[in-house]
Structure 1
Amino acid sequence: MNWNPNSIKIKRKKLKSLYALLFFMVSTPILIAQNPISPPGVYIADPSAKVFDDGRLYVFGSTDESELYYCSAKHDIMHTTDMQYWNITKNVFASKGENDQVPYNDAVLFAPDATKKDDTYYLYYCQPDINAPEGVATSKSATGPFTNGKKIDLNGHNQIDPSVFIDDDGTAYYLWGQFSLKMAKLQPNMTAIDATTLQTDIITEKEHFFHEGAYLTKRKGLYYLVYSDISREDKPTCLGYATSISPFGPYTYRGVIIDNNGSNPGNWNNHGSIAEFENQWYVFYHRSTHGVRTMRKACVEKISFLEDGSIPEVEMTSQGSGLPLPATSKIDAASACLLQGNVRITRASESNEILSKFKNKDVAIFKYLDFGDGVTSVSIRIKSSDGGKLNLYSDKPWYKKLAALKIEPNQEWQILSYPVKNETGIHALWLETTGNEEELFEIDWFQFE
């Protein structure tokens, strides 16, 4: 079955059933712009965004599958024509099992990158294999399948996280490394580096807070290196950036673009990219779920540039690249952009994610909701073990308390409705729980009226 995203008009309150329907009917489910952009049940991290000449934006990333380890043995690709509707093509490349194209090992696949030269697409992959950490596969389609994986000789500098950038003059650059960035020109065949051009310490942890996951692009003659930045709280939760007038540098550290700290109680790292699409620039990053470092999901925010080329830091949101979420639509609880306490996003089924494990004084925050001309009630799909109170605020700490919902114990999912104080316009929404020290609630969705 083929779907045309431009011909489908979806109300958000119908999304949940549509997600489930599409998940079982087609291999490329369509979903509307909202963070995370990874669909329910799919965990795509380390998003590298690329715009090719077919009018689409592609997100290449690693695919998480377990709470016990990072990544998996396959790669999936997300792509869009309008930043509103997303498609996912699954298992475009694998290191074992179906579509195994890595003949020399069965190790998991870490963060990839991709590019196009002439009529060939190149997927650069990496693995936790000290003897063969990086490789390249090819395809005649941006969505694969990518085949014939082969090792890349890194001239003794064996690390991970490949990235590739093609400059305006056609020169291709290959970047990789942790703590100290390596860079070399690619040979014309795009499958091997020119070792005579190899340079180390392009950026470093000491001088630029570089942790891993570099991504190079160019804007108005200035080269931007975006990478996992360890400048805050001794954790690489930021995407930082440095700029130069030359691909090989020297680079000047410019600051943080986005920090995913607070997205999940087990959050550890960040990894992403920036890209321009239809005259708007975006930052792509990931947020952890499940209360662990793994099970990460790709997200996106709009960014801007000042006259000096700097990028003002942006916050994580639930709305992503779209407009504020209509408060009168059915809003997935899993679109919360900030979590405080024990609460985390978990998978209730293969096609549905929820907020779970709420304890006393836990908070889930949604940015931003559009209450329009006003609301008078809220409906919420919730399950409660011991009962408690769910407080709703707008724009805390400068807040207005919308309601205090008393939730009675109920082991089954139920839809409850409550009156709320009228709110209008655009606001952040805070859900705060009070009760005993046990796990209190699971929340699927809510909707104001």
Structure 2
Amino acid sequence: MKDAVMIDPGVLVDDDGRVYVYCGFLHSYMFEVDPNDMRTVIPGSYKKDILAKGEPHNFFEACSPRKIGDTYYLIYSPRQGSRLAYATSDSPTGPFTYRGYIVDNSDGHPGGNDHGSVACINGEWYIFYHKTTNNTIMSRRGCVERTELLHDGSFKYVKMTSHGLDNALNPYYETKAELACVLKGKCFVAEKNVFSRPIINILPGSVIGYRSFDFGEDYSGTSLKLFLELEGCGQTGIIKVHLDSEDSEPIAQGSIPLDNSVLRIDMPTVTGIHDLFFVFENGKTGWFKDWFDNRELCRLNRFVFCK
């Protein structure tokens, strides 16, 4: 045990009162402790690599044990640290068999890690996890999504959303930029102060996405207006609006302002529930276009739709 790196410990108190500790870094460890003092290791209980190393297991850190029925679950962060994976066993001492992963925050925050676990609350299952902010893995914001425990004992994979426990965001209420769950092309959420967390470093090719908005079923209008509060960076550019996928045909677009401004984009009426994506492009053309591909186009503070 002296050579083991035992970070991110998780504790399981079994139905019979026995106490097990799970932890590790690159290797997974477990041992039983005396429930009377919660610190004395029971002789002979120490085990290494209770979750087999290698693909697709790739144990990294963040052990969180659970007992569901007669099955023992180990939720953990694999080498692809943006994910929360899980493994199961018939015994609290393992070995544990890899079953898959439950959530992945890499769409929104590439290069980050993840810690968290599942919980059953009022008969419904939830996965608690985090995403990174301020362009550093040491700044983390808690998140939660609904999941399902299926009949075969597996957990349903869920995508990271912007609405969390709500069914969807209301597009006709102000949406703060920081709720983005997809961030691509080097843009990131920055914390200016406790009231302001804009998305900055928006470059040509950047993608900002939100899951999901419920536009309702109102067919009374023929058009919709989108207002975005932007901080211009003196660069010309285009923002395209996509529904459901960043690769879909844009339904509207607007010109990025050179300075701080509220940009209005007119678009056709949208109904139902949709994911929303903003795709940013260089406004320059010609032989010098490439000179501006790595220049910040703007910063996004918030936006709202109006009928």
Q: TM-score scaled by structure 1? A: 0.61
> In the superposition, relative to structure 1, how do residues 190 and 423 fare at CA in structure 2: closer, same or farther (>3 Å)?
farther
User: For residues 370 and 161 of structure 1, what CA distance do their matches in structure 2 show?
Assistant: 38
Partner of 1:390: 239
Matched residue SS, 2:136: coil
Structure 2 residue aligned with 1:261:
106
Identity %: 31
Q: Is the 8 A contact 1:387 1:441 kept in 2?
A: no
| Matched residue, 2:305 | 448
| Residue 56 of structure 2 is aligned to residue 199 of structure 1 | no
Question: Any runs of at least 4 consecutive aligned residues in structure 1 with deviations exceeding 4 A, and if so which?
Answer: none
CA distance in 1: counterparts of 2:4 and 2:78, whole angstroms: 21
Aligned to 1:229: 78
* Cα contact 1:174–1:193 (8 A) shared by 2: no
The alignment's C-alpha RMSD in Å is: 1.9
For residues 180 and 372 of structure 1, the distance between their equivalents in structure 2, rounded to whole angstroms, comes to 49
Per the alignment, residue 431 of structure 1 pairs with: 278
Distance 1:164 1:444 in 2: 41
Q: Is the 8 A contact 2:176 2:303 kept in 1?
A: yes
**Contact kept? 1:205, 1:211, Cα under 8 Å:** no
Partner of residue 218, structure 1: 67
Matched, 1:183 2:183: no
Say if 1:155 and 1:195, in contact at 8 Å, map to a contact too: no
Query: Structure 1: how far apart are the matches of 2:243 and 2:148?
Result: 27
- In structure 1, what is the equivalent of residue 288 of structure 2? none
Q: What is the rounded CA distance, in whole Å, between the counterparts of 1:158 and 1:431 in structure 2?
A: 43
The answer to whether residue 196 in structure 2 is matched with residue 352 in structure 1 is yes
Q: Which has the larger radius of gyration?
A: 2
Instruction: Write out per-residue CA displacement over residues 345-369 of structure 1, whole angstroms, 9 at most, x where no aligned residue.
Output: 1112233211111000210010011
Find the counterpart in structure 1 of residue 154 from structure 2.
Answer: 310
TM-superposed CA distance for 1:397, in Å, is 5.1
Deviations 1:253-310 (A, max 9, x none): 1111112222224x23222111111111111112122333332222111111221101
1:295-334 aligned within 5 A: 295-334=139-178
**Given the superposition, is the C-alpha separation of residues 381 and 419 from structure 1 closer, same or farther in structure 2, using an over 3 Å criterion?**
same
Residue 47 of structure 2 aligns to a residue whose secondary structure is coil
Classify 1:226/1:304 alpha carbon distance in 2 versus 1 (closer, same or farther; 3 Å): same
Contact between 2:246 and 2:279, CA under 8 Å: does it hold in 1?
A: no
Superimposed CA distance per residue, residues 328-353 of structure 1 (whole angstroms, 9 cap, x where no aligned partner): 11111111101110211111223321
In the aligned structure 2, how far is the partner of 1:406 from the partner of 1:398? 20
Between the aligned partners of 2:185 and 2:270, the Cα distance in structure 1 is 27
Gaps of 5+ in 2: 283-291
How far apart, in 1, do the equivalents of 2:268 and 2:192 lie?
Answer: 31
Unpaired runs of 5+ residues, structure 1, are 1-153
Comparing 195-204 with 436-445, greater Cα deviation is found at 195-204
CA contact (8 A) 2:257 2:263 kept: no
Sort the Cα spacing of 1:366 and 1:328 in 2 relative to 1 into closer, same or farther, 3 A.
same
SS at match of 1:195: coil
SS in 2 for 1:248: coil
Structure 2 counterpart of 1:202, which letter?
I
TM-score by length of 2: 0.88
> Deviation of residue 155 (structure 1)?
6.0
Match of 1:284 in 2: 128
Q: How many Å separate the matches in 2 of 1:433 and 1:182?
A: 46
In 2, Cα distance between equivalents of 1:356 and 1:292 = 14
Please say if residues 360 and 433 of structure 1, whose CA atoms lie closer than 8 Å, have aligned partners that are also in contact: yes
Q: Is the 8 A contact 1:358 1:441 kept in 2?
A: yes
Partners of 1:333 and 1:181 in 2: how far apart?
Answer: 38
